[in-house]
A and B are shown apart, each in its own frame.
Chain A
Amino acid sequence: MEFGFTFSNTLAAILTIGIISFLWRDNPLYKLCEALFVGVSAGYWFVSLYYQNLLPQLFDKLGLTLIITPHADVKEGALQVLFKQGRFDERILYIFAGILGIMMLMRLFPNLGWVSRWPLAFIVGTTSGLYFTTYFQSNAMAQLKSTIIPLNSINNIVIVVGTVCGLIYFYFSKEHKGVLGGAAKVGTWFLMVTFGASFGYTVMSRMSLLIGRIDFIFSTWLGLVK
């Protein structure tokens, strides 16, 4: 970004004001910004995914980049290793990823749409396998460990009681009545304090985001604030 009343800054400032104007009411400038934002951001991710995922992860690894542009400044891929050196390179397995990706695109043909369930099933499998272990390890085990503490101070008692009652709130198998109901009630109090406190805690940083935009308008663009 540059300083002053330049074309670039004016463009950025108009877009900034356009988005903020939505707070007053929906209006043509906001509609313009919104439509532009959707198009530009979709394009941004489209280009980024190509250069940051598809190209290095698939084309470079397989060696397709070198086949298409022989003088490109990239290392040899699995295909070159296989055909020039006659050696098996495990990167050749990435060809399956390419196949799965193309199967995904079969969605575009109504009769072949079902093929796209394979890559989808692959993603769901990866996700559930990954989450199954990592979440248990980092959320359940680690949090459990740090909650087992000596009950020798008010602070520690607050932590243990709060965690226990909070967990009881999430207990689904019994109606929350009697002792269980009482504990679950205390659990909701803790949850409410948690939500209130984390809300209050973030207010400040949200303000600073807006300060950044206002500063852009008044000092970078208009030069009114030194």
Chain B
Amino acid sequence: MFEKLLRIDRRIIFLFVLIALIVPLFLNISQHIAISPEVRDIYDSLRKLQPGSRVLLAFDYDPPSAPELQPMAVAVMKYCFKHNLKVIIMGLWPQGPLQANLAIESIKRDKEFKDNPPIYDKDYVNLGYMTGNELVIQGMGTDIQRTFPRDYLGNPTSSLSVMKGITNFSNIDFIFNLSAGYPGTVEWVLFAVDRFHAKLSAGNTAVQAPQVYPYVHSGQLSGLAGGLKGAAELEKLLGFYGKGTKFMLSQSFAHIVVIFFIIVGNVAYFATRGKKKK
């Protein structure tokens, strides 16, 4: 039997992974999610904002990283809309602002926001994507409206009511950066925080997060959510249970499947090795 296990058809493993990922999407299991201090920092920063404050959301990722970052984006946006904070969307990745639109679409279909959906130019604006990587951030430090002369719909930025009175980072109360690589959180820290003293928190993919941790410890970054676990924590703190929590469960299940198969493989290996010796 163990010999068979050693040469198990890989498709059986594939099937287990698939089941482990799909099933939790349909379950409503409550898991204990411990809140890490880094995510609590984000929550504390958000809570301090007065109604009417301007929040800049920088979307620096593309669809492959969406499972990890989209739930964070949705949770933060919901919090902003609920507490009447003005949201300014932008992206250093071409696909970023489109992800923001997707997040807003999903919020509009949400029960909680059905009666009071976010309205363009009242609750949020989308400045779109701008080429130039970190140079864009540097330009924004001097003049945001000159860096982004038009929003993604083509309206002059100066005509947008949300953008009234905003020249540079001094007029932005909080920046939340969603990042999957370069350009991303590291560039935001180096340019927006170090040069222009903006207040910045970030959500990162699990792969990217360890490179950013040093900035949290040094205080340059006030809060960091890493991977799906970070997304789930953020959802719990902000009070919007969403996909992050669900995806987190899927991911844990799949992880356990992989670990389980490693154990099975080793048990089978040692069992058959014992036999051969006899």
* A–B contact at 8 Å CB threshold (below): yes
* A interface residues, Cβ below 8 angstroms from B: 1-3, 23-24, 201-205, 207-212, 214-215, 218-219, 224-225
Binary flags per residue of B1-41, CB closer than 8 Å to A gives 1, else 0: 00000000001001001100110011000000000000000
A-B contact pairs, 12 of them (CB 8 A): A3-B106, A23-B11, A203-B258, A204-B255, A207-B250, A207-B254, A208-B68, A208-B247, A212-B67, A214-B18, A225-B26, A225-B246
Q: Is B153 an interface residue (CB 8 A)?
A: no
CA distance A170 to B66 in the complex (A): 39
A226 to B25, CA, bound (A): 9
Instruction: Report B-chain residues with C-beta under 8 Å of the C-beta of A24.
Output: 11
Interchain CB contact under 8 A, A212 and B64: yes
Q: Is the interface of B mostly helix, strand, loop or mixed?
A: helix
Q: Which residues of A contact B14 (CB under 8 A)?
A: 23
Majority secondary structure of chain A interface residues (helix, strand, loop or mixed): helix
Q: Is B147 an interface residue (CB 8 A)?
A: no
Q: Are A209 and B105 in contact (CB under 8 A)?
A: no
For the complex, what is the distance from the CA of A24 to the CA of B255, rounded to whole Å?
Answer: 21
Contacts of A212 in B (CB 8 A): 63-64, 66-67
Name the one of B18, B25, B109, B227 contacting A225, with C-beta atoms under 8 angstroms: B25
Cβ–Cβ < 8 Å partners of A210 in chain B: 17, 21, 254
Tell me the residues in window 63-100 of chain B with beta carbons closer than 8 Å to chain A beta carbons: 63-64, 66-68
CA–CA, A215 and B68, complex, Å: 12
- B residues neighboring A (CB under 8 Å): 11, 14, 17-18, 21-22, 25-26, 63-64, 66-68, 102, 105-106, 109, 205-207, 227-228, 243, 246-247, 250-251, 254-255, 258
Residues of A within 8 A of B206 (CB): 204-205, 208
Nearest B-chain residue to A212, judged by Cβ: B67
- In the bound complex, CA of A35 to CA of B66 (Å): 26
Complex Cα spacing A214 to B105, Å? 19
Cα distance, A23 to B250, chains bound together (Å): 20
**Nearest chain A CB to B178 CB, angstrom units:** 14
Are A203 and B255 touching (Cβ within 8 A)? yes
Please name the residue on chain B nearest to A24 by beta carbon.
B11
Q: How far apart are A2's CB and chain B's nearest CB, in angstroms?
A: 8
| Closest chain A residue, CB of each to CB of B247 | A211
B contact residues around A215 at 8 Å (CB): 25, 67, 243, 247
A225 and B245 alpha carbons, distance in the complex (Å):
13
CA distance A207 to B246 in the complex (A): 13
Distance, CA A219 to CA B63, complexed state (A): 15
- B227 with A204: CB separation less than 8 A: yes
Contact B102 A1 (CB under 8 A): yes
Please name the residue on chain A nearest to B69 by beta carbon.
Answer: A208
Cβ of B64: which chain A residues have Cβ within 8 Å of it? 209, 212
Inter-subunit contact B21/A207 (CB<8 Å) = yes
Q: B66 to chain A: which residues have CB within 8 Å?
A: 212
Nearest-CB residue, chain A, relative to B205: A205
CB–CB A214/B102 < 8 A:
no
Q: Known contacts A202-B207, A203-B258; decide if A208 and B251 are in contact (CB<8 Å).
A: yes
- Chain A CB within 10 Å — which of B67, B205, B243, B247 has the most? B67
Closest residue of chain B to A203 (Cβ to Cβ) is B258
Alpha-carbon distance between A58 and B105 when the two chains are bound, in angstroms = 40
B67 near A208 with CB under 8 A, answer yes
State how many angstroms separate the Cβ of B39 from the closest Cβ of chain A.
17
How far, in whole Å, are A215 and B66 apart by their CA atoms in the complex? 11
| A218-B68 Cα distance, complex, nearest whole Å | 17
> Across the interface, which residues of A come within 8 angstroms of B205, CB to CB?
205, 208
**A208 surroundings in chain B (CB, below 8 A):** 67-68, 205-206, 227-228, 247, 251
Please measure, in the bound complex, the distance between the C-alpha atom of A209 and the C-alpha atom of B228, giving whole angstroms: 11
Cα A203 to Cα B258 with chains together (Å): 9
How many Å from the CB of A34 to the closest CB on chain B? Answer: 18
Closest-CB distance, B251 to chain A (whole angstroms): 5
Residues on the B chain within 8 Å of A23, using CB: 11, 14
Q: Which residues of A contact B106 (CB under 8 A)?
A: 3
The complex places the Cα of A208 from the Cα of B64 at a distance, in Å, of 9
B67→A209 contact, CB < 8 A: yes
Instruction: Report how far A225 CA is from B243 CA in the complex, Å.
Output: 10
Given A203-B258, A207-B251: 7 more A-B contacts, CB < 8 Å = A1-B102, A3-B106, A205-B206, A209-B64, A210-B17, A211-B251, A224-B26
Among residues of A, the one whose C-beta sits closest to the C-beta of B253 is A207
Which residue of B is nearest A217, CB measured? B22
User: CA–CA, A201 to B258, complex, Å?
Assistant: 13
Chain A residues whose C-beta falls within 8 Å of the C-beta of B18 in the assembled complex: 214
